[in-house]
Amino acid sequence: MTPGRVWIYAGHKERERALDVVAPSQRITVIAGVTTRVVEDHLYLGNRLAERTSDYYAQDRCGTVWYFGEDTAELDRRGHVTSREGSFLAGLRGAEPGVVMQAAPELGRRFRQEWYPRHAEDVFRAADLSAAVRVPYGRFPSALRTLETTRLEPGTLDEKFYARGVGEVMERSVRGGDEVLRLVEIIR
């Protein structure tokens, strides 16, 4: 994720219009001895900022992308922080880094994406290496499709689609939620 680029997603979340703006920053920070890139993620519901998150990513020599945590703030209608639940940093209070993307995805292989026991326990697996997906940004005939679950929300299942050279192009709830976000634009 190159600093200076901005990914814009649109859709809905729990019956509200949603806009998600993801922007890798120039900032880096060291977490658990690893230099990570700070990626800012702002989720708007309706016309208000509902959540702002700083995510921490690193890529190893083999090309696998790791997730080292997040600082999350949920906001009320006046912009006041109501919760920081889900925030964690690898190496603190039992939290560990997780894999976000394998360098060479393998079907069926499971990975912890977020791991902070009782707070963030997302797990994913590659389900399809050549899924066709169409979003406002474009058509992708050979996207990687992943399935995500979490022990903290039994019965939920989400799927995400990734296009080579672009990144995530769509995510949606399959069970246990009502969320769809589709890539509409990349600002370079």
Q: What ranges in 28-169 are assigned the alpha helix state H? A: none
**Global confidence as pTM:** 0.94
- Write out the two tokens for 112: 């912890």
pLDDT digit string, tens, across residues 93-119: 999 999 999 999 999 999 999 999 999
Compute, in degrees rounded to 10, the torsion defined by CA atoms 51, 56, 59, 65: -40
Three-class DSSP category at 130? strand
> What is the pairing mode between strands 98-101 and 65-75?
antiparallel
Averaged pLDDT of the chain: 96
DSSP-assigned letter for residue 82: E
Looking up tokens 């990349």 gives 186
Cβ neighbours of residue 86 closer than 8 Å, sequence gap 6 or more: 70, 72, 119, 120
